Amino acid sequence: MAKKRSEFENTYKWNTKHLYASQEEVMAEITNLENKIKEYAKYENHILDSATTLLDLLNLDKEVGMHLERLYIYGHINNDADTKDVYYQELFGKIQNVYTKYLQATAFIVPELLKSDFKVIEKYLKTNVNLKEYTRLLKDIYRHKEHILSGEVEKALSSYAKLMSAPDEIMGTLTDSDLKFSNIIVDGKEVELTESNYSVYLRHPNREVRKQAFLSLYKTYGDFKNTLAVILRCQVEKDVTSANLHKFNNSLEAALFSNEIDPQVYHNLIECVHHNLEIIYEYWDLKKKMLKLDQLHLYDTYADVPLKDDTSYSFEEAKDLVLKAVAPLGDNYKEVITSAFTDGWIDSVNNEGKRGGAYCTACYSVHPYVLLSYEGKLNDVSTLAHELGHAMHYYYACKYQSYEDYNYSIFVAEVASQVNEILLCRYLLDNSQDKGEKLRIIDDLLQKFKSTIYRQTMFAEFELFIHEFTEAGNVLTYQNMCDKYYDLNKLYFGNKVIIDDEIKYEWERIPHFYMNFYVYQYATGFAAAVYLANKIYAGDKKVRDKYLEFLQLGCTKNPIDSLKVAGVDMTNAKVIDEALGFMKDLIKEYRELLGSEEDGK
């Protein structure tokens, strides 16, 4: 049974007093913000009366934004640290109410600005030098102008915002709450199969358990194919309609516009992965050998490989490994991560009521905060390195950029975290004397390639199909979606794997298909990280310095240009080719280690 949070040493818990020293301070902040938010009203219909008025509004928004961000982080992380704590449940609810008031109070700003031409802003920028720090923010607002409809239309559309999210909400409710799967037999006992424990049984060492779980899950999804097809069709039609209304050429262009990503990056990813499918086919062949199977079915592809590795790591050992792994990034990088361990950035305890998973969050005026529940496995060490990568990205962006410019694009969000993870893996591989540990490290890396590049690209290709199919005037049905999804599985798994018929229903349970072209960023981010980490680990100081410069950019450049600063051009397939070449090398090393282990028996 998990211990209460109070039973753990503070050394392993984050220090929220760096945000607010007392509850009195928090309540005073809430009152202060509620009063400040009322000040927005005097600017409505007057934003562009003068350069001074515009500056006053932007300064107000900066002040409110910084304080609200700090308050929100405080409520958010305290609530996550112990979700059973009623005080923080209520406090976070109050803070969310303040945030809602802020959104309502500021809803007029962008539509009012866009009523005028950017020439007015350019004039004000020249006449009032203090507006300079808001240049990128203002340019980005006006970049959207040609895709913004009239104020009345946008207001009407915004009133339907909740309805627009209905397909995602309905799908989630149906799949998480209402779908019931037939029970399966595990170790001689009948157990209930759910969406949440499905992945556990799909990794089970007993093949019959894996097969039962696979068939039970997808038989049920097959029974709901018509309903889920209609739900996903509504989502796609919403995306397509919104793109058309906002004068985009297609839904892909519309989805990528906010991050300033050329759709060619998306197409390049799919094309490049197609050219490198032989590598994943080789991985499936290796997996079959490791599992000692004559045939590899889809329900075998997630099974844990039986490796002789029971290595565990204390938190202090994990800290030491992370610090040694990031050493190639220089003394300053290492010093800051050291302070993360000593200055209350990290919450690693596994207490009762703690939110599951791991994340890093940050506000501009205080250091980042990292949450995880550390249990001493290799995956926990990797997670620690991963989240500290996010923390360092936030740290450098906050240090070198203004509040308006520190928050980097989601397109580059996973680069720093994955660079840290890969540096850790490279360090462990070069310094471990245990073959079992080495095999585990490589196996984990190979699974990451499989799930992050190949699987997410397959998802991206399916998502592109359902949108383009709809844009061509066709109607999505369960049949054409099942057919396409089955064909994609045949393509991405090849003839090394038996493509079980039931996989054609998997699209029904993927929540990312309701996130409008999001998943491709997992693959591009990971590929960029592999490209950078390998060069940094090899001692390329020029790449290291450019990478550190990239971490400092925030959103001052668009994400493609930001990565170019680090020496990564995501419009060039070379980046993905090199990343997948590393996967090929790992497969070779895995085979060699496996061979030497067998020779030693």
The catalytic site residues sit at 387
Q: How far is CA 12 from CA 41, 117, 370, in A?
A: 45, 53, 11
Three-class DSSP category at 343: coil
Q: Nearest to residue 301, comparing CAs of 288, 318, 314, 282?
A: 288
Neighbouring residues of 597: CB distance < 8 A, sequence distance ≥ 6: 435, 439
Q: Give yes or no for a contact between 231 and 167, defined as CB atoms under 8 angstroms apart.
A: yes
Neighbouring residues of 58: CB distance < 8 A, sequence distance ≥ 6: 131, 134, 137
Residues 274 and 284: their CA atoms lie apart, in Å, by: 16
Q: Give yes or no for a contact between 328 and 539, defined as CB atoms under 8 angstroms apart.
A: yes
Q: Give yes or no for a contact between 465 and 484, defined as CB atoms under 8 angstroms apart.
A: yes
Residues 423 and 532: their CA atoms lie apart, in Å, by: 10
511 burial via Cβ count (<10 Å: 0-12, 13-18, 19+): exposed
The three-state DSSP-derived secondary structure of 449-482 is HHHHHHHHHHHHHHHHHHHHHHHCCCCCCHHHHH
Residues 374 and 11: their CA atoms lie apart, in Å, by: 13
Three-class DSSP category at 315: helix
Q: Give yes or no for a contact between 354 and 83, defined as CB atoms under 8 angstroms apart.
A: yes
Residues 377 and 384: their CA atoms lie apart, in Å, by: 11
Phi and psi at residue 586, to the nearest 5°: -65, -40
Q: Nearest to residue 38, comparing CAs of 98, 113, 112?
A: 98
